[in-house]
Structure 1
Amino acid sequence: MTTLARAIRAALLTADPRQKCFATRQVARDWRSDKLAFVFDVPMPDQPAWPDAPELLPPAQMPKRRKGGSERGRIALWHALAHIEFVAIDLALDMAGRFGAEMGEDFVSDFLAVAADEAMHFALLARKLENLGSHYGALPAHAGLWEAAHATRGDVAARLAVVPMVLEARGLDVTPATLERVAASGDDNGARILKRILDDEIRHVGFGTKHFLACASSRGCEPESYWQELVKSHFRGFVRPPFNDSARLAAGLSRGFYATIAY
């Protein structure tokens, strides 16, 4: 029987986007079917395998996306979203593979489910790009999305605090406005994709919050102040309003976590 760690590592080291999606969904299916031994006998890579394209640029060098309904602007939007979801596959796989031994089988089940969702999201967005006459890799992409994972590779609480509870929670804030613009432009297919992603991301943030609360409890820490301490120590960016308080609360993330450090 293949070990869980080896299966996850193999998916992380799959560079081709389509094959990474297939591999990720297979890992999740095999885990649900009890085909993988709960054994962590190989380390996770410091960085996953990625395709040669898109070109990854530092945030400051990323071209500004033009707002509006031009074809170029639409392609840039969907490409940026596809890249976020592609990296999110690796973030979820690494979460399960790097911290699963410490956190247990329920933790692994949750984050392999997240990884499978992110693979599905990427596939929907890649197909959207193709329908617009483009493809994933046609434009430069943000190089900084993996930095948060690398910076928190030594502590599961820090990883949970930053990735699901800051980065993914930010998606809850910004996706509704994007969905409204897409729907107003008459793009019903695009609006359905974004609605599916938003609904799934609420659940993903909920998984992160659930396991963070358990981690804080096991360490004898007050959750809100502990989260704030970890974010200040491990997150380079800012926790900025406006917030989608209702979606965050649905994910278990109350204002007590983020209101006092937002600016």
Structure 2
Amino acid sequence: MNKPRAGERSLAAAIRAALVECEPYRKVMLTRAAARDWRAGRLAFVFDVDMPDRPGRPEAPELLPPNRMPKRGRGNSERGRIALWHALAHIEFVAIDLALDMVGRFGAEMGEEFVSDFLAVAADEALHFGLIARKLRSLGSFYGALPAHDGLWESAHATRHDVAARLAVVPMVLEARGLDVTPGTLVRVRESGDENGARILERILDDEIRHVRFGSTHFAAVCALNGESVENHWKTLVQRYFRGLIKPPFNDSARQAAGLSRSLYGGVAMSEQDR
């Protein structure tokens, strides 16, 4: 195994330090520093430490199974707004670890372009979390005030052994779902008069298109290397590792921009009649 030169820190050590950090704002800072140091050439392309099975988590929020999560409800009440932004904060917080683990677990086999892409994703997710945490504070709340679920990390753990499975499920299913639901949330937030919140969601949607595109591009590269059909292999992996349902409505234009054709996900999606 390669070792860093004297005085040089390994990429894996920087990634692991951010992953195991429990305090949210410290995790954000360590993540952004790792991405910055990689871009500046201050981290060695060396994987000399293993990634943790689970990332560091703060004492709050309480993590519940998805089926035990309280209903967020609809409407524009103060409680409903806080619940919405808290749920979004948790998604972005876990997304930091998903991107970091992608780099730390698979970067050695996938190469430097893969590392650069997913460290950029991690830095984006850290920025998103910071924006939403600030939004929560403006509403008189904070991240950890409400329970959250751990389903996103369960998908990462299930695919920890196979980069193709991880790419198929995390960016190409879980993050792609954000492309479908964020526009509707954005419209509701803007109609409520919350222009600051709408701008945050616009930024997230723009970034997530790029994140999903990284996933679909690297998945296609893995398939080409192994002589696999992109569509067939993706469908096989999703059916094997994704426990949920891929259901309409779809944001086809955003998915297309992210490298997801309708023929790819249409074959495994629920029909409108099945919903």
State the number of aligned residues: 263
1:96 corresponds, among 93, 103, 107, to 103
Q: Given the alignment of the two structures, is residue 192 of structure 1 paired with residue 199 of structure 2, yes or no?
A: yes
Q: What amino acid is aligned across from residue 229 of structure 2 in structure 1?
A: E
Q: TM-score, normalised by structure 2?
A: 0.95
1:159 corresponding residue in structure 2: 166
1:252 corresponds, among 249, 259, 262, to 259
2:115 corresponds, among 100, 103, 108, to 108
State the Cα deviation string for residues 108-148 of structure 1 (Å, max 9, x = none). 00000000000000000000000000000000001211000
Instruction: Find the aligned partners of 2:102 and 2:125 in 1 and give their Cα distance.
Output: 13
Q: Given the alignment of the two structures, is residue 136 of structure 1 paired with residue 146 of structure 2, yes or no?
A: no
- Report the aligned-residue RMSD: 0.4
Q: Given the alignment of the two structures, is residue 23 of structure 1 paired with residue 30 of structure 2, yes or no?
A: yes
Unaligned runs of 5+ in 1: none
Instruction: Find the aligned partners of 1:147 and 1:255 in 2 and give their Cα distance.
Output: 26
Q: TM-score, normalised by structure 1?
A: 1.00
Structure 1 segments of 4+ aligned residues over 4 angstroms from their partners? none
The Cα shift of 1:66 comes to: 1.2
Unaligned runs of 5+ in 2: 1-7, 271-275
State the Cα deviation string for residues 19-50 of structure 1 (Å, max 9, x = none). 00000000000000000000001110000001
Q: Given the alignment of the two structures, is residue 207 of structure 1 paired with residue 219 of structure 2, yes or no?
A: no
1:47 corresponding residue in structure 2: 54
2:84 corresponds, among 77, 87, 92, to 77
The Cα shift of 1:7 comes to: 0.5
The Cα shift of 1:203 comes to: 0.2
1:261 corresponding residue in structure 2: 268
Q: Given the alignment of the two structures, is residue 3 of structure 1 paired with residue 10 of structure 2, yes or no?
A: yes
Instruction: Find the aligned partners of 1:182 and 1:163 in 2 and give their Cα distance.
Output: 26
Q: What amino acid is aligned across from residue 59 of structure 2 in structure 1?
A: D
Q: What amino acid is aligned across from residue 45 of structure 1 in structure 2?
A: P
1:174 corresponding residue in structure 2: 181
2:63 corresponds, among 46, 56, 65, to 56
